[in-house]
Amino acid sequence: MSDPINLQIGGEIAFSPENEPVVITELLNPEKYVTQYLGEYLKYCGFASQYPNFRSIRIGSAHPLIRLAFSMLEDQPVNVELFPSITVVFADESEGAVMLGRNQSSILWSEADFIKVENLRNQGALYISDANLARVHAALVQSHQIMGIQYLTTWEGMLTLDIWSENRDITLVLYDLVKGFLPLYKDRLSQLGFAIGAIRGSGAVNVNMEFGKILYGAAVSTSISAQGYTCMLQLPLVTIEHVQANLDGQAVEGQA
């Protein structure tokens, strides 16, 4: 019996840009929602009417002490409207409950799935670019279904509500109010996919005198976990720009 014939065959296919896959991922940072809910909560508490001299509470994710430091570097006057302030920070993240293959699964998208994703994207819960959103919609109109791969991951991190004021009594009041905020709003955060853990507090023990004034600080923190997904959708084949095959060392080129 003669020896088998081995042909060295290799190849490369270059797809047109409209055939590139689409990646969609969940946005798992709770800062935006906590900032919104905290402002609502303090309004319901009636803080502004009870303390009219401190009614303007600055709530956000940019720390006022950083802004003060920048003002000093730029030799600018200190902005007195920075305080009282509550800074919302989500950090120290790590992947929890690591699963084999990151819980990979095949998915099959329909037009109903597209509508859900479009709504979540408009709410700021998902990231997909405008161009890719339009490409997915066009592909579904054409083929009605899209295949892809999805990966589920669980992220755990620390949410800190950092309180600063020029008045220690106000810092203490805000500290106690913030401690009541998280238990009251844990269900609303849970509906968004954020699970609240044990709550910790430092009390009004922090003092800062670096900016020509005495500032009193306190902090409330909690662990938060959230499960999210990243998926890659393979759009239906439209055009192959270039095909190059190597047959026994001879290159053969073509287009489709």
The DSSP bridge pattern shows strands 9-15 and 104-109 to be unpaired
Per-residue pLDDT, 102: 66
Give me the residue spans of the domains in the chain. 17-234
Q: In angstroms, what CA-CA distances link 52 with 59, 215, 249? A: 17, 19, 83
Tell me the per-residue pLDDT of 117-156, one tens digit each, with 9 for 90 and over. Answer: 999 999 888 999 999 999 999 999 988 999 999 998 888 9
Q: Give the least confident one: 30-39, 80-89, 200-209, 240-249.
A: 240-249
What are the pLDDT digits (tens) for 154-171? 889 999 999 999 899 999
Tokens encoding 133: 């959103």
pLDDT band at 245 (very low <50, low <70, confident <90, very high): low
Q: Mean of the pLDDT values across residues 1-25?
A: 63
Q: How far apart are CA 37 and CA 44, in angstroms?
A: 11
Quick one: tokens of 170? 């106000």
Residue 114's nearest CA partner among 145, 148, 143 is 145
Q: Which residues pair with 91 in a beta bridge?
A: 158
201 forms beta bridges with: 220
Q: Which pTM does this prediction carry? A: 0.75
